[in-house]
Structure 1
Amino acid sequence: MSPPSDAPRRQNLARGALALGAGVLVALSLPPWGFWPLALIGVVLFDVSLGADPTRRQRFAFGWLFGAGWMFIGMGWMIQLTGPGYIAAGVIFGGFHSVAAGLAPDGKWRVLGRPALHTLAEALRFSFPFGGVPLASMGMSQVGGPIAPVVTVGGVILITWVVFQLGTLASAALSARTVPTAWPGATLMWSLTAATVAVIGVAYVAPDGDSTGETLTIAAVQGGGEQGTSALDVPSRLVTERHLDATATIEPDPELDLVLWPENAIDVVTFETSDIAQQIVDEARRLDVPISVGLTEDVVIDGKRRYTNAQVVIAPDGEIVSRYDKVRRVPFGEYVPLRGVLERITSAVDRVGDAVPGTTPAILELPTGEQLSAVISWEVFFGGRVREGVELGGSAVINPTNGASYTGTIVQTQQVASSRLRAMETGRWVVQVAPTGFTAFVSPDGTVVERTSQREQKVLTHEIELRDGFTWYTSLGDAPFIVALLAAAIASMVLGGRFDWVRRRSPA
């Protein structure tokens, strides 16, 4: 009797390696590596690794390997924030794609179910747990590609579906050429292809807002300094002085309308009574324009020391015209989820302060009446935060941020990509300003018009167009597309027989 062949085992390992490699390709399509076709190739290879009729174990295992290859590389920045959190995030978010692959039907209905379920896995990642981690998104990978305008219709959710749908259809078409049994799904394949192409085509003619005929000239101030440093490494006063020095290089100009500083440029107990506030007022008076600065202030709530993270607008006469406090805080960066539990395990959580979440709308108003959609740092990764300010009348978007604590460029380049996505989604200019880079001006079509380098001290000055009117994404948001994807996923599972076990177990 001959020994059993280990060929099936080797084939299974090869398919698992292909799924992992597919996830890696998606990661490499993201900034800072960014080559957008790799995401489509990755989805094609992932679908090939699954095949038309995988076993249950293969579906869950290959789905996790795909998600892990994508997340562990694409979110490599997180290890600098929290090593255990980085591992947990990779495992959990890989698990989302494991469940998506496990639930998706086989056979011809996979071309409908797999894209819908994997897009829903991403939608879940953007909001859960702890408010979500929407970095390393499929939308970022496509921001420089031909399907980027899709975000004006349905944001990152819709463009994610388009990538998964195109990749799955391409894989199914390859299968249909070699496996005759795949041809019964030809009608479904052509219908989905037509629908996907239609979505891309509509995006190119969809409304993208209108010019108000007014402009705003903004000087975005980058103070400079080393990357990979935290507030514990660099005195906050030094950060402030770098930005004061950079601001001092700006010459008075009647065309200038606003000087913009980044997040956390000032750290004081109480801003209004500080000497730094007077220095800001002196500069605003010298230039005869308002200055918007990012500041943190100490507060005591219920006997516990906490802090606020805000952006304020200071007029030349010293009045604080408007203020926005950051609403979405960074988990493990600006607060610690489950702090009471984690404090019993490690003292490392004591290094993380507890920011007070803001409650006001995402709007800042200038003394002359212009309204700007304001999102601080992390918030720019969430399309809904920018939408809120634009819906309330924001004619441009500002994103004061602080990525100084991260070495490398993963976070910084992904943030620029997110600013590009938010610009296209809303049809507004986006001004991103950071203490050590990257500071950038992004036009409504997602073009980076100007950008600084890391660490340099520089002031970028640019005239931006103020705009009104809504894109479809601004009007609709994510909800309609999530509902449509849920409907498609459920329909595919029902028609694909994924719920047959319920009927088999039901009494006759």
Structure 2
Amino acid sequence: MVKLMKSAWGDVFAVIAGILFSLSFSPFDFSFLVFFALAFLKFSLAELSVKRATLRGFLFGLGLFGLGVSWVFVSMVVNEQSGYLLPLLMTLLYCSFWALFPAISAFLYVKNRVNNDLDWFVFASVWMFVEYIRGKWVLGGFPWLQVAYSQLDTPLSGYVPVMGAYGTGLIIAIISALMAESLLKKQYSSRYFFAIITLVSIGVLLQTVQWTTISGKSLTVSLIQGNIAQKDKWAVENRNATLKQYYDDSAAHWQSDLIIWPETAIPAYFEDVKQDYLLPLEQEAVANNADIITSLPYKDKAGNLFNSVLVLGKNRAMYKKIHLLPFGEYLPWQPVSGYLLGLMNVRLGKFSSGEIDQPLLNVAGHYFVTSICYEDAFGEQSIRHVEQAKFLVNVTNDGWFDGSIEPYQHMQIARMRALEAGRYLLRVTNTGVSAIVSEKGKIVNQAPVMQRVTITSDIEPMSGMTPYSRMGDKPTILIISLILLYSFINRYFLKN
């Protein structure tokens, strides 16, 4: 078997394994495949040179991201004016760039692997180290298709409130590496099997722990999914119809304590609609003892443009998006990226980031943590000030990706934030997936995609702190750093 892995067939299987890795995430949800895919990768690197291992990792990444982020193509042709050839080439380039990270993982692992019983730990630590770098630092962070998200509906989700996405990912990578080790070192297979059973059993036990508690009376919330097509959303001639639609859908649910609209539901600057639309809407909400959370672009006196969330009600306040989306709200790699997107007739805003330490917004007497679109992919941002918050709110516009797998992946990522924080999540999108998620990360109520619909449910305000909310990613990063340091020292002394 090891000889087969050294041949060209091993490279073919690497692409297939990458595809299987991607199939473990929503909307496919074959959660078990992530273990076999990662185990294959470790097994196939057993006797490869550093150069060949790097290629093997890149091919694995091509399979993973070639399927997993194929939706980027949809976003580039949404306006139906850019043709298909250039978006296709850009998509291939985009997928190839992210495929470099599994290649880096393979390179680092083979370069620093140890010939003892801790080799499985080195592989798992290297994989998660590279996931962390990709998810936190590259282009501001791209934490898509990270292993932990595949296990939200398995016993391993019990680790999430304790260790977060990266810590849970480390457990998954360890289990996968132990599976590979059981084939490479069959004399120890019973030992590895026992370790795997132990890790899964701990996850089952952790699932039974209630980390946070109900705090106060339940709230009735209504999430309004407007289903405004992306190509029509910003057309000036459609503005009044859009504003009337959201008003009518809200007026039908004045009995709710809280009504939430999706990201940039209002296709106009704050000052342009303040007097004639927002203030009358707010007065009516207050008269009905309700609060509205809406979203719209905001331009300050200096001309800086912000993607914002606005609370209308007794405690009017605004949150300005902190973590901007690369190639969506700002353009890295200028002027090349701007030139290429211009060729495809893709017009993007030039937004500024809001202050990091903004106060929490308050509705219905409760503070909540706000995130806009892509911000829900970052765990440590979502737990900032969470001790004061009773629930989480995310507003999103995934209309750029209609008909693709991206909205389902994004919903899966958002669920992780609820489980990490031990808080209900109210997630409202323009075209889907809109849902109410419990503090256990389970979907309580979900709207059908690509439909104009409002969903209403009762939620429980929660208080208390999960271990992850208290410590963040620091313990996981410390463990990974110590193992990597050990492997570097081990390699140095072996060479000398």
TM-score over 0.5 for the pair: yes
Match of 1:4 in 2: none
State the shift of 1:414 in Å. Answer: 1.5
2:83 maps to 1:80: no
2:152 maps to 1:158: no
2:468 maps to 1:463: no
State the shift of 1:231 in Å. Answer: 3.3
C-alpha contact 1:213 1:466 (8 A) present in aligned 2: yes
**Structure 1 234/112 Cα, relative in aligned 2: closer, same or farther at 3 Å?**
farther
Distance 1:78 1:234 in 2: 28
Match of 1:141 in 2: 150
**Structure 1 89/387 Cα, relative in aligned 2: closer, same or farther at 3 Å?**
farther
Deviation per CA, 1:11-56: give whole Å up to 9, x if none.
52111112221111110111111111111121122223223x3222
**Structure 1 362/220 Cα, relative in aligned 2: closer, same or farther at 3 Å?**
farther
**Structure 1 327/396 Cα, relative in aligned 2: closer, same or farther at 3 Å?**
same
Deviation per CA, 1:46-78: give whole Å up to 9, x if none.
223223x32222221111222221122112222
Match of 1:487 in 2: 482
Residue among 22, 27, 36 paired with 1:41 = 36
| Counterpart code for 2:311 | V
**Structure 1 13/471 Cα, relative in aligned 2: closer, same or farther at 3 Å?**
same
| Counterpart code for 2:365 | G
Partner SS for 2:317? strand
Partner SS for 1:463? strand
Partner SS for 2:401? coil
Distance 1:345 1:405 in 2: 18
Match of 1:100 in 2: 105
Deviation per CA, 1:400-445: give whole Å up to 9, x if none.
1111121224221122212211111111000001122221110111
State the shift of 1:123 in Å. Answer: 0.7
Distance 1:268 1:90 in 2: 34
Distance 2:432 2:223 in 1: 11
Match of 1:210 in 2: 213
C-alpha contact 1:59 1:102 (8 A) present in aligned 2: yes
Partner SS for 1:267? coil
| Counterpart code for 1:278 | L
Distance 1:189 1:464 in 2: 42
Distance 1:144 1:63 in 2: 28
State the shift of 1:343 in Å. Answer: 4.4
Match of 1:290 in 2: 291
Which residues of 2 match residues 415-494 of structure 1 at below 5 A? 415-494=410-489
Residue among 64, 67, 71 paired with 1:70 = 64
C-alpha contact 1:312 1:320 (8 A) present in aligned 2: no
C-alpha contact 1:306 1:353 (8 A) present in aligned 2: no
Partner SS for 2:217? strand
Match of 1:309 in 2: 307
| Counterpart code for 2:214 | S
C-alpha contact 2:428 2:435 (8 A) present in aligned 1: yes
C-alpha contact 1:81 1:333 (8 A) present in aligned 2: no
| Counterpart code for 2:307 | N
| Counterpart code for 2:482 | A
Match of 1:270 in 2: 270
Relative to structure 2, which stretch is displaced further, 291-300 or 258-267? 291-300
**Structure 1 102/233 Cα, relative in aligned 2: closer, same or farther at 3 Å?**
farther
Match of 2:83 in 1: none
2:388 maps to 1:385: no
Query: What is the aligned-residue identity percentage?
Result: 23
Relative to structure 2, which stretch is displaced further, 343-352 or 15-24? 343-352
Residue among 369, 390, 400 paired with 1:405 = 400
2:332 maps to 1:332: no
Distance 1:261 1:337 in 2: 29
Relative to structure 2, which stretch is displaced further, 98-107 or 394-403? 98-107
Deviation per CA, 1:326-377: give whole Å up to 9, x if none.
1111101011113345446663587111112111546543355310111111
**Displacement over 6 Å in runs of 4+:** 7-10, 185-188
Deviation per CA, 1:476-503: give whole Å up to 9, x if none.
10122012112112313443x36644x3
Which residues of 2 match residues 169-188 of structure 1 at below 5 A? 169-177=178-186, 183=187
| Counterpart code for 1:492 | S
Partner SS for 2:403? coil
| Counterpart code for 1:46 | L
Match of 2:138 in 1: 129
Distance 1:62 1:126 in 2: 22
Partner SS for 1:21? helix
Relative to structure 2, which stretch is displaced further, 305-314 or 155-164? 305-314
Distance 1:499 1:74 in 2: 40
**Structure 1 107/21 Cα, relative in aligned 2: closer, same or farther at 3 Å?**
farther
Deviation per CA, 1:170-219: give whole Å up to 9, x if none.
12112323xxxxx4x77985796587457535633555212213322111
Which residues of 2 match residues 212-251 of structure 1 at below 5 A? 212-226=215-229, 231=234, 235-250=238-253
Deviation per CA, 1:269-300: give whole Å up to 9, x if none.
33463422134225414533121111113456
| Counterpart code for 1:215 | S
Relative to structure 2, which stretch is displaced further, 479-488 or 100-109? 100-109
2:277 maps to 1:281: no
Give the TM-score, by structure 1 length. 0.86
Partner SS for 2:59? helix
Distance 1:397 1:232 in 2: 31
C-alpha contact 2:233 2:267 (8 A) present in aligned 1: no
Distance 2:362 2:436 in 1: 19
2:351 maps to 1:351: no
State the shift of 1:85 in Å. Answer: 6.0
- RMSD of the alignment, in Å? 2.9
Partner SS for 1:323? strand
Deviation per CA, 1:65-117: give whole Å up to 9, x if none.
22221122112222334646644443333222212212221544431211110
C-alpha contact 2:155 2:207 (8 A) present in aligned 1: no
Give the TM-score, by structure 2 length. 0.87
Distance 2:480 2:439 in 1: 28
Structure 2 alignment gaps of length 5 or more: 77-86
**Structure 1 103/170 Cα, relative in aligned 2: closer, same or farther at 3 Å?**
same
Higher-Rg member (1/2)? 1
Distance 1:418 1:36 in 2: 14
Partner SS for 1:259? strand
Distance 1:157 1:279 in 2: 45
